[in-house]
Amino acid sequence: MDNRTPFGNTRDDRALPRHNIAVQESARSSYGRRNAGAMSTRNLGSSFVLAAALTSSWTGVRYAEVGLSDVLLALALLVFLVQSGLGFRRLRIPLWYFAPPLIALVVLGVGTIFLGSDGAADGLTFVLRLFLSMTVVATLVSSEGDTFGANQTVRVLRFWAFGVALAGLAAITDLVGLTDFSVVISRSTGERATGLAFHPNSLAFSLTLAIPVLGYLVSRSHTKLGALLWLGVVVVCAVSLYLADSRAGLVVGYCALIATGLILINSTRSRWALAPVGLLSIPAYILFVAPFLSTTRLSGDAGTAQSNAGRTEFANEAFRSFAANPLVGSGFGGGAGVAVPLVLASSGGIALILAYYVFIARVAKTIASGERGPARSLFLLSALSVLVFGFLNNGVSERFIFWPILIAASLLADRGFSEADVSRRASP
């Protein structure tokens, strides 16, 4: 009897005899191999998922406001539906996956029909973006895990992290003159680095979310070479984060980097080093961090003052829009804000705020219920980064946002997944 949740098994497989676990894993892996003639079709679906994950942070790679990852997500969903109909794939779509875009659609209808709100076209675009970034990504991730198991889910996570690193690497190569992606990338104006993203804040957001994920991939590496390669990717992301010069990215991203390091140290025999590291952090801040921050927008310059003035104006407009219609907002044409809660409140009111954050809370609860260990801590850090960064910037429905936490929920809800699968560093 199949008693899997959308993110994995509800039954604790570790309580079963080892023979039963082996039989269950054999059945799961053979699910996707029932028909040898369908191999290419199944590979096509998984290939679209990997490509969508890889390019999700490339928000500047688009044509006529349609991003490359949007097309890949739509194609992946279409192929998955066909595969499910043919019996080659497990595909379950719980109603709560639809909560944010469905509530946004209801709010849009109420505002347009009964309140005379404007921005119907903008509202439909917003609904579609929520559908792609939340509903579709959740569906694809859970289906890959249910059909092919945890190894495939981790593979999707690797592609997502590598895509973020490539977006950051493009910022570095542009800076040193090796490349000029401005020729082919749709991006905002300004001197700050954007890499393959449309805006520096978008690049910084993806890099921030990638840092805990990369920490997990470092810890999961079974060879020193693999760990070193992922550490190299961490360095690329840290440098790119500096070049993006997003204040939210500098604060949240580097805090996430420090927290990731502490979590990894605490998971090894080197946890004794936590106290000395804490003591050394104060002089390190005075000697290195403070001078470093003085070269960024956190130090405050003319451009920063202008940005602050604009952000204050947008925030006030968002509060006015929310106050006019607290329940459903003032419509997507009049919606504004420089932070995710303000965007949601001004556009869709309390209804949309609840739908959006209940979705995140549901995913975070699944992660928190997983086996205790560094993986759970790192993924909870990623979920926290989504929330904190959202309070400082207005990235509501970027297609890269929810991949890490949805993959984490899929992994940690699978009771067959164990921290024993994570290669821990037994020595410094």
DSSP string, 78-135: HHHHHHHHHTSS-----GGGGHHHHHHHHHHHHHHHHS----HHHHHHHHHHHIIIII
Using pLDDT thresholds of 50, 70 and 90, give the confidence band for residue 111: confident
Give me the helices (H) in 115-253, please.
Answer: 120-130, 137-148, 150-175, 200-220, 224-244, 247-248
Using pLDDT thresholds of 50, 70 and 90, give the confidence band for residue 189: low
Residue 187 tokens read as 């991006």
Q: Stretch 102-116: mean pLDDT, rounded?
A: 89
Q: Map residue 62 onto helix, strand or coil.
A: strand
Of 418, 360, 380, whose CA–CA distance to 149 is shortest? 418
Of 79, 69, 73, 91, whose CA–CA distance to 41 is shortest? 79
Per-residue pLDDT for 214 more than 90?
Answer: yes
Using pLDDT thresholds of 50, 70 and 90, give the confidence band for residue 335: low
The pLDDT value recorded for residue 132 is 97
The pLDDT value recorded for residue 21 is 37
6 CA to centre of own chain: 18
7, 364 in Cβ contact below 8 A? no
| Residue percentage of the chain with pLDDT more than 90 | 51
CB neighbours of residue 62 within 10 Å: 16
Q: Map residue 275 onto helix, strand or coil.
A: helix
272, 204 in Cβ contact below 8 A? no
Q: Map residue 367 onto helix, strand or coil.
A: helix
Using pLDDT thresholds of 50, 70 and 90, give the confidence band for residue 41: low
Per-residue pLDDT for 407 more than 90?
Answer: yes
| 200-220 vs 150-175: helix crossing angle, rounded to 10 | 130
Of 353, 417, 412, whose CA–CA distance to 383 is shortest? 412
235-289 pLDDT tens trace: 999 999 999 988 899 999 999 998 998 898 888 766 766 777 667 766 776 667 7
The pLDDT value recorded for residue 43 is 83
How many Cα atoms are found within 13 Å in the side-chain-facing hemisphere of 50? 13
Per-residue pLDDT for 26 more than 50?
Answer: no
211, 258 in Cβ contact below 8 A? no
Q: Which residues contact 373 (CB under 8 A, 6 or more apart)?
A: 267, 419, 422
The pLDDT value recorded for residue 417 is 58
121-144 pLDDT tens trace: 889 999 999 999 999 999 999 999
Rg over alpha carbons for the chain, rounded to the nearest Å, is: 22
**Residue 59 or residue 31, greater confidence:** 59
Residue 425 tokens read as 């560093």
Mean pLDDT of the chain, nearest integer: 83
Residue 396 identity (one-letter amino acid): V
The pLDDT value recorded for residue 4 is 54
Per-residue pLDDT for 170 more than 70?
Answer: yes
CB neighbours of residue 196 within 10 Å: 27
C-alpha dihedral sign at 347, 352, 353, 359: negative
55-67 pLDDT tens trace: 999 999 988 788 9
Per-residue pLDDT for 22 more than 70?
Answer: no
Per-residue pLDDT for 3 more than 70?
Answer: no
C-alpha dihedral (47, 167, 131, 320), degrees to nearest 10: 180
Per-residue pLDDT for 411 more than 80?
Answer: yes
Point out the least confidently predicted range of 74-88, 99-113, 159-173, 325-339.
Answer: 325-339
